Structure 1
């Protein structure tokens, strides 16, 4: 354990020759207004993946990995290939409480050991007791679909009839069409047979176990807890809608969960609470009131936590086009709006798109559009004209990071005659960004330029605007959605037409306690990476100075850019994968200074 505690979130690798003291101030995440902040008061953006949908399956006992070695392999890969600084770590209620009032500490021990591997490479973690369609035990061995979540004893106590979805072309339709699934969901929220109380007891026991079995240095990297995945009423009572259900049943549950967190030693960590799952659907007939609008100001003990999928394009027939520049701006501005109204940060804890199937050709453009909207509330054309309207950078975790993609051996609903091996091995889904190659090494299934991204992981002050043009490919063609204006010819010449670049504008608080940090994608060659800032300019940053390059914490090959000694006031930094001469950098710097003054963003 000393190995972890001396390296988590410090500047030197955990398994490298040189160790540096553990930095607890950098590891912790708390809530300040609508921002996540670390112990230095830096604004923190959490980015990464869900780990993982394997938890939905029985083959590894409701755990993300078969063992610690696989967890270690996946953790290092999510740092180096996915550019993550955090993960949403899935847990199984069914595995944690296989019989009523009996928590399986062996399961908790194995889950903790796997979680520890992610903390050891400097990743922040927040657990999630995951459920979809309430429980796998709702479904018969020969059912078309499956679920995950509640233990068998919960379903048996409900005495439900055999499930039936009718004409369901997608597993998600069970949520609104399968009477048995709907009844079970309703029973949870009304605490029939005391099942909600049992869940809260198990959650408290799990959090107590984590708090007492993780070292303090490790526990500092736990960013909170997601109480319940994709909550839905199941069935509304007479006169009830999404908003009134949230106020009358969902929010009281979150208050109870929050109290259990406090009793378990999680008082200083937020509950990442999800609204009615259909509040921001982009299919009009699925959209429902909600968004925790009746909860008032949430304050620092809660985080607004939502999901977003392009359900229209995922359907394969409601929208046959590819996503375009600014496609999801309005959807994610709605998330930012709820964050502001609730007075707490927002995190999009699930988003993604299928990589095989009828809509898979949309995946490159959809994912680019989703990341664009997470980075900025503007389309690429508008950003350079009015960056002040970009809004905050959203924290988010892509679904999903499953190293067993295409290599599963899952008996669907415990039926040995229905062994699932392809994709995610769950309801014909296939969204994992990673797989293992023939040598057993993790490799990306998506364009690396898309998922391993430049982003401001820690800002010493406040982010005013951020843009990243990833130059990812779709069918062999470069997608460029943000062109630098023609009035900035030197800047446009520097970034070119095929190399990625990003721009950060921030207001420094003048503190020199810790620098502003940007994650640098692996596709950026350190020797040719160019940074142009009002703090200076450089191609091939060294390890010291106002603009420096250093490893990400945790002993992997991931890297970050440090921007130090920024006096109080507005600052900018353009990061390009292309090299430039000192003369070229000076010309770009002058253009950016003029641009900053012309847009007025520095006066925010």
Structure 2
């Protein structure tokens, strides 16, 4: 200090000031760690049901795409929590955003861990669930909760069984006194739903609200499920921050409902009407009482209603149920059972393979007056049918994007319709790293795959603590319309994975030349004058500086940063840095707009391509 004062006293004050300025500038230029992107003013908009679409408070049509956050949730290893700790939860959420561009997840919880003893709610479990949900909402990812079950409960199964389940707590199963389980010669775990008497009896008792004698006195099964669900929802409402709770979309009351067995004269549609629909109405009441009145119930029909394997297929799909209306979402699953069998469909999926299946889901939702979501879909990424996975996933996402196959899309774009929301099964960073004692048997430790009934579905795994993909990134990090300021008229995306199905017609040579061998997407929409813009997710394979957008709003090669003034621009998405979206702004009402996005070679001019697209888009006027 004395030396410093001497330095000052010698008239060196100016030199000190200059030194301080240099130090300050140097500090400012240091490479600070990247921080999450700050949300734009429309990113936290409330999302709800409007007719047969999701819309936000600005009237924009919303498409939800992402994964099931299951991981450990179906296992006992971490007592039903998806993650061992918040470090893993945050790493998983960040990887999900970075590697897939997901804007929504289905987050699993399990009755067995919520209520481990009759009438006792495990507050520690709910606290951990609450905290792990925030790992995703902190990324700007929307969440819908799923009360999950498979084969009713793991506690129905013997220690040496070939299969296991998840769902109901041990005390409930023991009070039920169910017969010893056996599926016989079942080649897939799902056959237990029809062949295993212990499973079918327990499920039947659930729907008929059987009264059981427990240490807490007589308890009716279905009533008790509603009790624990209400307590869970109330806890989350009270303990999530308002900002995090705002990003919760709603609840899936029960995963994959089925009857167990029907009463005399009963069928799938009448079972849905007489037992499932009243249950959903009761669940809806619990949501309202718990502070979730403005959130949707994502209700599932009979799980077999759209199975493509004759053995499993049963009529259903809420054909005997009244219109669901604005407080419900028609929530269906779809798996290609024929492809998974390896026998019923020996080849790979083709162009348009699932457009009819997914159009059926769309049509049921429209007839019920609610939006649709495919909350589970996918295919094994390992095993004897895994060679089909790339083509199956490509075809399933194609069917989510459009009603029309790739070959016919340009000529039949008027039939394309809206993009469909969906959550792929699934996202498990612990894939191939589990340590699950199957049915509590220390001699059956499951470590491979998903550690659940020999399944291999996870799109992600850890490689030396770093998340890496098990699938081609082009299949899951896709262009999709996150928000449309009006109504989608047509959408398609050619990801160039496996094979190119969507071929630009010879009548559009300039568009074909512009795209080249690159990936491309086309969106057409009718504007509703929303003050918030249309947003399209930009995959990592589309670098903003080399992306071309040809739109009636203005053709651009190399996207400028969004400041609120540009009709076509790029902006970061909420959460993990490096995830981008194209912003398409217009303030008119009723006008038809279009945009083609391409990461093909940067063209010297877009004039000819714009003229071709303008002529093509005239069909929507």
Q: Aligning the two structures, in what range does the TM-score lie when normalised by the shorter sequence?
A: over 0.9
Local SS of the residue matching 2:397: helix
Aligned position for 1:231: 257
Give 1:235 shift: 0.4
Give 1:428 shift: 0.3
Structure 1 residue ranges (4+ consecutive) displaced by more than 6 angstroms after TM superposition: none
- Written as runs of structure 1 = structure 2, the 5 A alignment for 1:341-420 is 341-420=367-446
Deviations 1:257-306 (A, max 9, x none): 00000000000001000000000011133221110112221111000000
2:585 corresponds to 1:560: no
Aligned position for 2:529: 510
The 1:390/1:22 distance shift into structure 2, 3 A limit, reads: closer
- Written as runs of structure 1 = structure 2, the 5 A alignment for 1:28-67 is 28-67=46-85
Question: Which of these residues, 174, 177, 180, is aligned with residue 156 of structure 1?
Answer: 174
Give 1:578 shift: 1.6
Aligned position for 2:611: 590
Give 1:39 shift: 1.5
Aligned position for 2:144: 126
The 1:83/1:555 distance shift into structure 2, 3 A limit, reads: closer
Q: How many angstroms apart in 1 are the aligned matches of 2:39 and 2:397?
A: 34
- Written as runs of structure 1 = structure 2, the 5 A alignment for 1:251-266 is 251-266=277-292
Could you tell me whether the CA contact under 8 Å between 1:25 and 1:40 is conserved in 2? no
Question: Which of these residues, 577, 580, 585, is aligned with residue 599 of structure 2?
Answer: 577
Local SS of the residue matching 2:461: strand
The 1:21/1:77 distance shift into structure 2, 3 A limit, reads: closer
Could you tell me whether the CA contact under 8 Å between 1:36 and 1:345 is conserved in 2? yes
Aligned position for 1:4: none
Could you tell me whether the CA contact under 8 Å between 2:403 and 2:417 is conserved in 1? yes
- Written as runs of structure 1 = structure 2, the 5 A alignment for 1:489-500 is 489-497=509-517, 499-500=518-519
Give 1:556 shift: 3.1
Q: How many angstroms apart in 1 are the aligned matches of 2:233 and 2:455?
A: 30
Aligned position for 2:9: none
Aligned position for 1:6: none
Give 1:592 shift: 0.1
Q: How many angstroms apart in 1 are the aligned matches of 2:290 and 2:378?
A: 33
Q: How many angstroms apart in 1 are the aligned matches of 2:56 and 2:470?
A: 32
Question: Which of these residues, 400, 424, 444, is aligned with residue 469 of structure 2?
Answer: 444
The 1:253/1:387 distance shift into structure 2, 3 A limit, reads: same
2:564 corresponds to 1:538: no
Aligned position for 2:295: 269
Question: Which of these residues, 198, 212, 222, is aligned with residue 180 of structure 1?
Answer: 198
Give 1:550 shift: 1.0
Aligned position for 1:281: 307
Deviations 1:16-66 (A, max 9, x none): 669757747744210000110112111000000000142110111101100
Give 1:92 shift: 1.1
Q: How many angstroms apart in 2 are the aligned matches of 1:407 and 1:352?
A: 21
Give 1:580 shift: 2.4
Structure 2, gaps ≥5 residues long: 1-32, 212-219
Q: How many angstroms apart in 2 are the aligned matches of 1:23 and 1:57?
A: 39
Give 1:197 shift: 0.7
Aligned position for 2:155: 137
Local SS of the residue matching 2:326: helix
Deviations 1:107-132 (A, max 9, x none): 00001000011000000000101100
Give TM-score, length-normalised by structure 2. Answer: 0.91
Could you tell me whether the CA contact under 8 Å between 1:26 and 1:38 is conserved in 2? no
2:92 corresponds to 1:74: yes
2:474 corresponds to 1:458: no
Could you tell me whether the CA contact under 8 Å between 2:43 and 2:574 is conserved in 1? no
Could you tell me whether the CA contact under 8 Å between 1:26 and 1:39 is conserved in 2? no
Give 1:431 shift: 0.3
Local SS of the residue matching 2:315: coil
Deviations 1:538-573 (A, max 9, x none): 111011311111110124321111001252210000
Local SS of the residue matching 2:478: coil
Deviations 1:68-126 (A, max 9, x none): 11000000111110110000000111000000111101000001000011000000000
Q: How many angstroms apart in 2 are the aligned matches of 1:322 and 1:485?
A: 25
The 1:21/1:51 distance shift into structure 2, 3 A limit, reads: closer
Give 1:239 shift: 1.0
Aligned position for 1:323: 349
> How many positions carry a matched residue from both structures?
577
2:165 corresponds to 1:147: yes
Give 1:581 shift: 3.0
User: Highest Rg: 1 or 2?
Assistant: 2
Deviations 1:439-468 (A, max 9, x none): x01111100000000000000111001000
Aligned position for 1:10: none
**RMSD (Å) for aligned C-alpha atoms:** 1.3
Aligned position for 1:485: 505
Question: Which of these residues, 130, 145, 148, is aligned with residue 112 of structure 1?
Answer: 130
Structure 1, gaps ≥5 residues long: 1-14, 474-478
Aligned position for 1:468: 493
Q: How many angstroms apart in 1 are the aligned matches of 2:403 and 2:377?
A: 16
Deviations 1:488-518 (A, max 9, x none): 0011111123x2100000001123x211000
Q: How many angstroms apart in 2 are the aligned matches of 1:556 and 1:353?
A: 30
Q: How many angstroms apart in 2 are the aligned matches of 1:77 and 1:422?
A: 21
The 1:198/1:307 distance shift into structure 2, 3 A limit, reads: same
Could you tell me whether the CA contact under 8 Å between 2:182 and 2:196 is conserved in 1? yes
Could you tell me whether the CA contact under 8 Å between 1:404 and 1:435 is conserved in 2? yes
Question: Which of these residues, 236, 250, 261, is aligned with residue 210 of structure 1?
Answer: 236
Q: Which stretch has the larger CA shift, 234-243 or 561-570?
A: 561-570
Q: How many angstroms apart in 1 are the aligned matches of 2:123 and 2:47?
A: 27
Give 1:148 shift: 0.4
Could you tell me whether the CA contact under 8 Å between 1:501 and 1:577 is conserved in 2? yes
Q: How many angstroms apart in 2 are the aligned matches of 1:316 and 1:432?
A: 19
